[in-house]
Amino acid sequence: MKFFKKKGTAKAKKDKKDKKTNPYRKYIKRMWYTFGAFMVLFYAFFISVSYGLLGPLPSFEELENPKNNMASEIYTADQELLGKFYVENRSNVEFQQLSPYLVDALIATEDIRFKKHSGVDARGIARVIVKTIAGGDQSSGGGSTITQQLAKNLFPRPETITKWELIKLKFKEWVTAIRLERNYTKEEIIAMYFNTVTFGNQAFGIKSAAKTYFDKSPDSLNLQESAMLVGMLQAPTKYNPIRNPENAKARRKVVLGQMLKYGFLTPEEFEEVLETPLNTNRFQIQDHNVGMATYFREHLRLLMNKEEPKEEDYADVYQYYLDKDEWENNPLYGWCNKNLKPDGSRYNLYTDGLKIYTTIDSRMQTYAEEAVTEHLSEDLQPLFERQLKNATYGPYATVYREKDYIRLLELSKRRSERYNNMIRNGFTDEQIDQAFNTPVNMRVFSWQGEFDTIMTPMDSIKYYKWFLRAGFMAVEPQTGFVKAYVGGINYKHFKFDHVTAARRQVGSTFKPFVYAVALSDGQFSPCSKIPLVQVTIELENGKTWSPQNSGKIKEGEMVTLRYALAGSINWASAYLIKRHSPEAVIRLARKMGIKSYIMPVPAICLGVPELSVYEMVGAQTTYPNKGIYTEPIFVTRIEDKNGNVLSEFVPRRNEAMSEETAYLMLELMKGVVDYGTSARIRSVYGIKYPIAGKTGTSDDNSDGWFMGITPDLVAGCWVGGEDMQIHFRNTAYGQGANMALPIWALFMKKVYADETINISTEDFEKPSKPLSVEIDCGKYARQHPEENNNNDDNGWQ
């Protein structure tokens, strides 16, 4: 007891002495107690916020899988980005895909202590309180770290918000930032940040921004480009280099200055790049109307979003059954509506960040688009305009009455997007007519480039009628992979797809189906001779059908099938279909992928069926593929945003004819190129490699076709006007050999010249078994003297 008394007495004496030496000690202790209590309360408050005191916070799953609208990306077979489908043009990148300049510029400008803090920077907050709030220094910067900004980007604030709600959100963002730091590395946070920010001009995320402003990938951005893009983050509109280039350059200088200040640049590097131009001459908004393979991308979009066909929605029952078959047997048809995500919802092509790997080869696609442009703009279109410039109702070559001209224009008006939009919005016929005849500002297409003008919508319809259209597709016959797809001359101004949507008369390109039926029964060889005489076929209605020939033929003589097909002689085709029947030809066409309706009449042997480029090119793959039809496909696989494979695609195949028949058809069609209607491939374009082919021209030269076959690649082309009455006045200009064949030849010359493609220049592979018929026409003539003309000894004829 005495001990404790002495100790207490000593303490009391010490306190008395401290009071004399430090009279503020009591207040200091109270301050520390207060501060300690505040920190405990602050910590408890944060714990409470993390448990939902101020409302729910993002869960761990939401942090792992933030809900951003992710663009679906379309890739070519050679891994080039073809385009995107999106609501927001956003695609993610990883840290390794970022230029080091981007990372340095961001840290120097937005958060120099990024690598030291754990999501919330106490020193930065203190700076804001002391300098910005208390001292009024707006240049001292904000207190939000990169991680806090990421939290705000991942879980956006409401558009309208009170001050109290803003304060609550700030605290929640702090907690979210700390959680992000616990779940992700610093590198991952940097990458996520760059993926969530917007750069204006429909560019969401750094990958889209790099492509939009500089046509580059993020890892290829140089110092000045990186500084410009990072500078835009503070205000994408104010510092937009296209709209406000001076602001953008000044802001870039600020970013470069920050990099210099914190040692990311040397003074010499800073001075070197300070006055460099913004260099946005490759700026291009990533729009569905521009870029490579625009028609293909639109076809893919429509195809994947197809809904299950309902018969009541169809006026054409036959088309309903075609679409129903596609829905049931084509896995890509309606893919988004037939496949479900793990949560049971359907995939969204515009927001789910799918990666779609197509069969398109970027090199071949480029060559195909160049070939269409070169032939039409430099040769065919000028020729067409010269020939039709004096037509009464140009560009219609066979319209002679005003009422017919007006009727055709009215049909086009009613098909237009403007007309249908006005109908949907309840406009009357009088209002629509007034709108179509009122001059307006518009930007129109020309082969020399777009230009601004003033004209009425009706005049624009007349203007666009003058342009010839085209469709082109190339397929690898063994795999069915579509390597090039050009649906028209300019997707922005001519939306209609002439590869899959259009069906036009195919002319003589249909004749090989007839010849294939004749060869398949074993009674004919390419060297077999038939008489060139007028053929008359009695029809079911009691009438007769007798086709005419065009050009000079050996009337009354015996000619080989090879000669007949090379010259595209109508009497020969009629002779063969009379011998076999239209039904037999249609059955073979079906096996070769032709699905469009074909009326079973003898005239099909001359090419009256209306088919698509897609069907015709697909059918030709049967010949180099040894009788096996391989359905052309567009996509090999689809992945989710994390790279998990969702679907893989293989083409449908079926045996359409024997290996021997397919080879015999190639021999026949090689004659078309070597000395027939397609001989200009050799004489004009100088292509010497083995090629089989067939031209086609419909009545009045309305449609020009060419199908060209090589061992590794089958390609076909159609050229014509929007309406069938728009065409050349003579066959010399309007035939398939002049309208369509040059596109094929220009395309193939570039393909052959590109050594990286490595296309075969060898001949077609022979059948595995010996042929049952003779294809050397000299030998065949000696073996069958009964078929020879008295004055004919030149073999192939």
Tokens of 363: 């090199």
Alpha-carbon distance of 251 to 291, in angstroms, equals 30
DSSP per position, 295-314: HHHHHHHHHHTPPPP-GGG-
Nearest to 218 by CA among 125, 105, 328, 132: 105
- The number of residues in the chain equals 797
Give the containing element (helix H, strand E) for 164: helix 163-183
Q: CA torsion, points 664, 570, 738, 722, in degrees to nearest 10?
A: -110
Convert the pLDDT of each residue in 758-776 to its tens digit.
Answer: 999 999 999 999 999 988 8
pLDDT at 242: 92
Alpha-carbon distance of 42 to 48, in angstroms, equals 10
Convert the pLDDT of each residue in 663-712 to its tens digit.
Answer: 999 999 999 999 999 999 999 999 999 999 999 999 999 999 999 999 99
CB 83 within 8 A of CB 284: no
Convert the pLDDT of each residue in 518-560 to its tens digit.
Answer: 999 888 999 999 999 999 999 988 899 999 887 667 788 899 9
Q: What is the DSSP letter of 128?
A: I
Neighbour tally for 603: CB within 10 Å: 17
Tokens of 69: 């609208």
Tokens of 716: 């076909």
pLDDT at 501: 96
pLDDT at 61: 56
CB 598 within 8 A of CB 609: yes
pLDDT at 166: 55
Alpha-carbon distance of 84 to 67, in angstroms, equals 18
Alpha-carbon distance of 239 to 148, in angstroms, equals 23
Helix (H, G, I), strand (E, B) or coil at 123: helix
pLDDT at 791: 43
Q: What is the DSSP letter of 129?
A: I
Nearest to 283 by CA among 233, 246, 228, 230: 228
pLDDT at 160: 62
Residues of the chain with pLDDT under 70: 1-25, 27, 32-33, 35-68, 122, 124-143, 155-172, 551-552, 788-797
Neighbour tally for 276: CB within 10 Å: 14
Give 475's strand partners: 482, 714
Q: What Å distances lie between residue 161 and 18, 154, 340, 763, CA to CA? A: 54, 18, 36, 73
Tokens of 76: 């070519």
| C-alpha count within 13 angstroms, C-beta hemisphere, residue 349 | 20
pLDDT at 171: 63
